[in-house]
Chains A and B, each alone.
Chain A
Amino acid sequence: MAKTGIALILALSVVVVPAGSALSEIKSGSEFLSPELRRQQADETRNPAFFWVEQGRELFSRRPAPDAQACIACHVDPQQKLRGAATRYPQVDAATGKLLNLEGRIEQCRVERQKQPAFGYESPELLSMTAYLASLSRGLPMQVKTDGAANPFFEAGRAFFERRQGQLNLSCQQCHDGLVGQKLRGDTISHGAGTGYPAYRLEWNDVGSLHRRLRACSLGVRATQFDYGSAEYLALELYLAGRAKGLPVETPGLRR
């Protein structure tokens, strides 16, 4: 009896954590959607997230205050000059040594250069700006730096991904590497690639950031929900972006 028990545990651990997950097989979240939803994501006339992109484009070219410059005054011709910018985030800010994602970079620019109050994480304005800037890189492969100064953050993200946490004592890896393609409630477990975010989630009826999605994941395993823009989620975002290297940016995505 005890022997069977041990064999069962061994078998389970093999299923749950496959040795050396093949990073080349990481698939985008949209691969797990129905064909109908995939078509809706690609269709600007039916994907509601494009309203946020449109709002972001407006904010980008409008002066935030009469005495402040619009983003477009420095970033001339964003369609060309900022194409591909989002594929390199999160990245380490050379001046401060901090890890910044796209949201963080926008806020930094707004506070330090435009001298305006920060939008605040998850505000409609910041979501719109992020969605707009990321949408400029639509179709381009993710190519974040995970070596050099970014390496400690990447490793911290990996450690977070592999660490069991919460009352359910699950690590991200157990589901998002080991059980990909299987069902969890009504949905299919994906690889956890964040290439569509900020995305319109049908569950939210709204556009939300990757950190909002990560908070939902943390809640799901009854673990600590970290703050928007927290160091833990930033490191995890970098690790997920590193895992998704080569996958095209899909922002604004549509997710269930």
Chain B
Amino acid sequence: MSFNARITMPAQAKAGEIVEIRVLTRHVMDRGGQSDGKGGTVPRKILNRLTATYAGEPIFRFDMHTGVSANPFVSFTTRAVATGDIVFEWREDGGATYTRTARLTVT
């Protein structure tokens, strides 16, 4: 349970409508630097980037640094243009990525 995400947005929207997308993420966002008890330090391990694509087009990018709290929340808006998947991708220090998908139906 080190990572989890809760994406809240309307399932449907009219063409041209502006929809709000809320993304709450579970992550400890460990900024590192603490002693590991063996003479070294714990490396930084945060989610450093969240990107969202809508029907293949990038619509949002959020670069995160150590000042961002644990379990970050972000909300943004986009214009509903066509029915398609909004794909959220988080990039974690160390190269791991997490993906979530939400579908927006445009009427």
> Is there contact, CB below 8 Å, between A51 and B71?
yes
Taking CB atoms, residues of chain B closer than 8 Å to A54 are 4
> Is there contact, CB below 8 Å, between B4 and A45?
no
Taking CB atoms, residues of chain B closer than 8 Å to A46 are 22, 24, 73
Does any Cβ of B come within 8 Å of A232's Cβ?
A: no
**Alpha-carbon distance A46/B101, docked complex (angstroms):** 19
Taking CB atoms, residues of chain A closer than 8 Å to B29 are 205
> Is there contact, CB below 8 Å, between B69 and A55?
no
Does any Cβ of B come within 8 Å of A124's Cβ?
A: yes
A58 to chain B: closest residue by CB: B1
> Is there contact, CB below 8 Å, between A48 and B73?
yes
Does any Cβ of B come within 8 Å of A50's Cβ?
A: yes
Within 8 A of A (CB), among B69-103: 69-71, 73
Taking CB atoms, residues of chain A closer than 8 Å to B1 are 51, 55, 124, 128
Within 8 A of A (CB), among B38-92: 69-71, 73
A47 to chain B: closest residue by CB: B24
Known pairs A55-B1, A124-B1, A206-B70; A48 contacts B26 (CB<8 A): yes
**Alpha-carbon distance A55/B6, docked complex (angstroms):** 13
Known pairs A45-B22, A46-B22, A46-B24; A51 contacts B69 (CB<8 A): no
Chain A-chain B contacts (Cβ-Cβ < 8 Å), number: 31
- Residue tally, chain A, CB below 8 Å to B: 13
Q: How far is the CB of A61 from chain B (nearest CB, A)?
A: 15
Within 8 A of A (CB), among B1-40: 1, 4, 6, 8, 22, 24, 26, 28-29
B2 to chain A: closest residue by CB: A124
> Is there contact, CB below 8 Å, between A51 and B70?
no
A40 to chain B: closest residue by CB: B73
**Alpha-carbon distance A128/B26, docked complex (angstroms):** 13
Taking CB atoms, residues of chain A closer than 8 Å to B70 are 205-206
Taking CB atoms, residues of chain A closer than 8 Å to B71 are 48, 51, 205
**Alpha-carbon distance A48/B29, docked complex (angstroms):** 14
> Is there contact, CB below 8 Å, between A50 and B6?
yes
Taking CB atoms, residues of chain B closer than 8 Å to A55 are 1, 4
**Alpha-carbon distance A124/B1, docked complex (angstroms):** 9
**Alpha-carbon distance A44/B8, docked complex (angstroms):** 10
Taking CB atoms, residues of chain B closer than 8 Å to A124 are 1
Q: How far is the CB of A49 from chain B (nearest CB, A)?
A: 9
Taking CB atoms, residues of chain A closer than 8 Å to B26 are 48, 51
**Alpha-carbon distance A55/B1, docked complex (angstroms):** 8
Taking CB atoms, residues of chain A closer than 8 Å to B28 are 205
**Alpha-carbon distance A128/B24, docked complex (angstroms):** 18
Indicate with 1 or 0, residue by residue over A18-58, a CB within 8 angstroms of chain B CB atoms. Answer: 00000000000000000000000000111010110011000
Chain A to chain B: the 4 pairs with minimum beta-carbon distance, closest first:
A205-B70, A45-B8, A48-B71, A51-B26
Q: B residues within 8 Å of A by Cβ?
A: 1, 4, 6, 8, 22, 24, 26, 28-29, 69-71, 73
Q: A residues within 8 Å of B by Cβ?
A: 44-46, 48, 50-51, 54-55, 124, 128, 202, 205-206
A-B contact pairs, 19 of them (CB 8 A): A44-B6, A45-B8, A45-B22, A46-B22, A46-B24, A48-B24, A48-B26, A48-B71, A50-B6, A51-B1, A51-B4, A51-B24, A51-B26, A51-B71, A128-B1, A202-B69, A205-B29, A205-B69, A205-B70
